[in-house]
Structure 1
Amino acid sequence: MDDNDHNNSNKSPMVRVHSTVEMGSLEGRSVIEFEDDNLVSPSSISRKKHSFHEPPHTSAGGSENFCPKHMTNSVIGSIKIVLLSAKINLLIPFGPLAILVNKSSGHHGWVFFLCLLGIIPLAERLGYATEQLACFTGPTVGGLLNATFGNATELIISIHALKSGMIRVVQQSLLGSILSNMLLVLGCAFFSGGLMFSEREQMFNKAAAAVDSSLLLMAVMGLLFPAVLHSTHTELHFGKSELALSRFSSCIMLVAYASYLVFQLKRQKNLYLPVNEGDTQNEGTSDDEEAPEISKWESIIWLSILTAWISVLSEYLVDAIEGASVALKIPVAFISVILLPIVGNAAEHAGAIMFAMKDKLDISLGVAIGSSTQISMFGIPFCVVAGWAMGCPMDLNFQIFETATLFITVLVVAFMLQDGNSNYLKGLMLILCYLIVAASFFVHIDPTSVEDKPPKPGH
């Protein structure tokens, strides 16, 4: 790399990954930024550099902007930034290809695989559009937006599965997303950060980790009681008490999650200050100022487009799960718990690892554990309430095997976080734990999965 390239790399745009935990720690900013010139294109670099020195040009800036030529340039520029700026977008054509394969051959194995590849870049771009919109809304609303769209891919897949009556797929995919974030994402972050800083242990904020661990244990409580009630056959009204308890507990968990958002975004901002940020916060203020790359309305339009496209591909993905299980000879439980979460968590994996390698472990922890908290305290109860509205008996009885797996995982991670430091050995242990979980679900046969799908009306 020559000197010019080196100088350009130092001015490269920031790729933003954030979670609701970090939203409370940044009083004047809505996102965390870090440099990665491998994920962006030269055109994106030049646009970002340009934005630091000139006032932002938006389509709503004045009456002189409402000319056809300017509107065309604005649309083309927005498409270049959103669709052509990241190398991961090379996977986008796999989405339309999956639909073509489904229409031509109907091979469920290939349709499922292509849909997985096609949704990965859409999930990453959905997070990007959310972060751009958060630049205009401020940190508090930005945190709420992140809570809503941060796990939108998993929720969209779950809603389509609920419509098809595939309750076990919904339960297991949400469970798998929690396990993936807590073991695989956090483990990779600890491992990569530990190798990068092998001469010392990396530190993180124990107080913030303790709050998230407490919420995860509360989520385990909400899932444990319906499973135990069902397995011990001690329901007051068989087949009804379990469902009623699940719906009541889901409403309580949603209230607890709303309280958690208020707590972390407003009440306890100092609690979530990263341990290494206090001395350098003033120095880096000018470098961390956020310059949005697209306008507010462009962000909203892209959010709508990406959400709709993810919804379309999710429908094909859900319809192909059972056929893919037979074609690939893989249990549905393994597909739901291991393969599906990889799609929604792909961007979080990369973000958590790169933050850890830059010694920003608090952010990595927020990405991994914060996402698990969102799914367990918001995603799962939301699906129960949504199923209630759709007349689908979605409950919190995840069966004993799955509930025990989650319970042990939360305990292991809580013990790992209690001393406030990490190293590569802890990361390796978490990764190996995830391999054990994956192997367990590969040999696990769920006897209730075939009973979930009721006949569709009119069939």
Structure 2
Amino acid sequence: MPFFPTLRHAATVMLSPEKPIGTAPSTWSSLRSIILSSWFNVLLVFIPISWAINFALPDQYTLIFILTFLAIIPLAKLLAYATDELSIRVGQTLAGLLNATLGNAVELIVSIIALVKCELTIVQSSLVGSILSNLLLVLGMCFFAGGMRFSEQGFGQSAVQLNSSLLTISVIAVLLPGAFHMALQGQASYSELSTDYDILKTSHGVAIILLFIYGSYLVFQLFSHKALYDDNNPDIQQSRGYEGQNPWLRLRPRRRNGRPVQSSDPTGDGQASGPADGTDSELGPLPTDAESEIEPYMSVGVCLGLLVVVTVLVAVTAEFLVDSINGLTASGAINKEFVGVILLPIVGNAAEHVTAVTVSVKDKLTLSLGVAVGSSIQIALFVIPFIVTLAWIMGKKLTLLFDPLESVVLFLSVITVNYVVQDGKSNWLEGMVLMCLYLILAVTFWYYPGTDGIFTC
């Protein structure tokens, strides 16, 4: 049973979407595959520990936050694993819809719990932070990791430019309520109560429109123009290897006898020459056209049961996590803005980060972009307006009027990513630039105290 089967399934579905599904394994084999699915499962031990500390030492907010933080990471990975297993059985179109629905389930659960507890600042900052994390950190790591093997990697320029346009639209929706508020503040007839009410109603209307745009995007991606998002699309530019010896190979460790460790790219031309038996040291057997069927790792019953159990565990653990934030930030050692924008997105995106970076090294940059940019679009066009609409139903005054610095940073980040991807190819330096920009934002939000929102529950 190879480790990281989720990645192998993702590549299999992309390469051979029409192949039949093999016989479902037994319950024991399914449970064994769950245990061996990822090294992240080692962190599952923090679930009972964090729960016990929460009940035994409820005043230890910092300890509770750290333990619950570590506990949610493997749960996010298992949720992604179950989603991927279910996806291979429903066809490529429904698989895309299923991944779009459950891809950011952890962020959605955390946001809903924070909304119920009237932590509006945490809701807004964590959602903005998820977009920034995917666009800058994940995408930057993908470009950098792929650039260590390829001089340039190509991807579908048309699809990426369309995604950039959708992100720009969502950023405009976030910026407009702030501009609305600023434009009326200087007028003599300014009424704070009336303006706040108008911003709240504006946010409700814009949220509904964004949900409609997201629905149209799903139809476009999964039905009318799904070929644009395929790895075999002729619009994708070919990746190029380094001329001569790959300079990054010199940084690899050496054996005791002084000879370099063998590389999967010994010629340095960017074309990997894997083992003769058609296997990969990280992924196990690679999917090929010779395979007659896709091998499932779990039965449908176990897969659905895993989804339910993990969702419940995430909900309970996330509640403890949100409860500890106020106590954690009360000391002044760390602020809510940094927790929401930087720390919380790591919880929900850690598993996606690993998958996206690993497939970028395998020259599956289209899949990496689908994880990074696709997740950002889902948060911007679905999760944010959905949470605003849900708050409207619950009677909570959550709007699209975000913190001014968060709004500006989000706008500048989207503009930067648009410039980086506009040529349809990437290299390691572009990845380094995106990662360094994310570090700049992390330093900024570490010292940024935040502003009090105009709305409270």
Which residue number corresponds to residue 291 of structure 1? Answer: 295
Report the Cα offset of residue 452 of structure 1: 6.2
Q: What does 1:398-409 correspond to in 2, within 5 Å?
A: 398-409=402-413
Match for residue 95 of structure 1 among 40, 47, 61: 47
Structure 2 equivalent of residue 211 of structure 1: 162
Structure 1 residues 208-234: Cα deviation after superposition (integer angstroms, max 9, x where no partner): 101110100010111011111123336
- Aligned Cα root-mean-square deviation (Å): 2.8
Structure 1: 4+ residue segments shifted above 6 A: 22-27, 276-280
Aligned to 1:254: 211
1:245 aligns with 2:249: no
Following TM superposition, by how much is the alpha carbon of 1:293 offset from its aligned partner in structure 2, in angstroms?
A: 1.4
Q: CA deviation at 1:15?
A: 2.7
Instruction: Write the mapping of 1:32-431 to structure 2, written as runs, cut at 5 A.
Output: 56-57=23-24, 74-106=26-58, 107-197=60-150, 200-233=151-184, 237-274=194-231, 284-287=288-291, 289-327=293-331, 329-431=333-435
- Give the C-alpha shift of residue 84 in structure 1: 4.0
Q: Which amino acid aligns with 1:269?
A: K
CA displacement at 1:356 relative to structure 2: 1.2
Contact 1:175 1:337 in 2 (8 A): yes
d(CA) in 1 for partners of 2:139, 2:361: 12
In the alignment, structure 1 residue 15 sits paired with structure 2 residue 19: no
Match of 1:46 in 2: none
Output one character per residue of 1:45-101: Cα deviation in whole Å (capped at 9) or x when no partner. Answer: xxxxxx99xx6146xxxxxxxxxxxxxxx4433322223432210101102111111
Shift of 1:438: 0.8
- Which residue identity does 2:197 align to in structure 1? K
What is the SS of the residue equivalent to 2:143? helix
TM-score of the superposed pair, with normalisation by structure 2: 0.82
Q: In structure 1, give the amino acid aligned to 2:23.
A: P
Whole-angstrom distance in 2 between the partners of 1:181 and 1:93: 27
Secondary structure of the residue aligned to 1:401 is helix
Partner SS state of residue 399, structure 2: coil
- Residues of 2 paired with 1:344 and 1:358: CA distance? 24
Q: Deviations over 1:245-294 (max 9, x none)?
A: 111001000000000000011111222232688999xx933449532211
Retained in 2: the 8 A contact 1:187–1:431?
Answer: yes
Secondary structure, counterpart of 1:343 in structure 2: helix
Question: What is the distance in 2 between the residues matched to 1:377 and 1:160?
Answer: 20
- The 2-side partners of 1:288 and 1:240 are apart by 60
2:32 equivalent to 1:28: no
**Paired-residue identity, %:** 40
The DSSP-based 3-state class of the residue aligned with 1:285 is: coil
Q: Are 2:7 and 2:359, in contact at CA under 8 Å, matched by a contact in 1?
A: no
Aligned residues of 1:254 and 1:377 also touching (Cα < 8 A): yes
Alignment partners' CA distance in 2, 1:180 and 1:25: 25
Query: What are the superposed Cα offsets for residues 367-399 of structure 1, whole Å, 9 maximum, x if unpaired?
Result: 100110010000100100111111111111113
Q: Which amino acid aligns with 1:168?
A: T
Q: Indicate the larger mover: 327-336 or 167-176.
A: 327-336
Q: Structure 1 pair 194/246, CA: closer, same or farther in 2 (3 Å)?
A: same
Report the residue type matching 1:270 in the other structure.
Answer: A
Gaps of 5+ in 1: 1-7, 31-50, 59-73, 455-459
- TM superposition shift of 1:328: 7.4
Against the structure 1 CA distance between its residues 309 and 158, is the aligned structure 2 distance closer, same or farther, given a 3 Å change threshold?
same
Which consecutive residues of structure 2, in runs of 5 or more, have no partner in the other structure? 239-270, 272-286
Task: Check the 8 A contact 1:196/1:357 in 2, yes or no.
Answer: yes
After superposition, the Cα gap between the structure-2 partners of 1:17 and 1:228, relative to the gap in structure 1 and judged at 3 Å, is farther
Task: Deviation per CA, 1:167-217: give whole Å up to 9, x if none.
Answer: 1100000000000000000001111111122xx211111011011101000
Aligned residues of 2:134 and 2:372 also touching (Cα < 8 A): yes
Q: Name the CA distance, whole Å, in 1 between partners of 2:69 and 2:300.
A: 29
More contact order relative to length (CA 8 Å, sep ≥ 6): 2
Cα distance between partner residues in 2 of 1:18 and 1:267: 24
- TM-score between both structures, scaled by the size of structure 1: 0.81
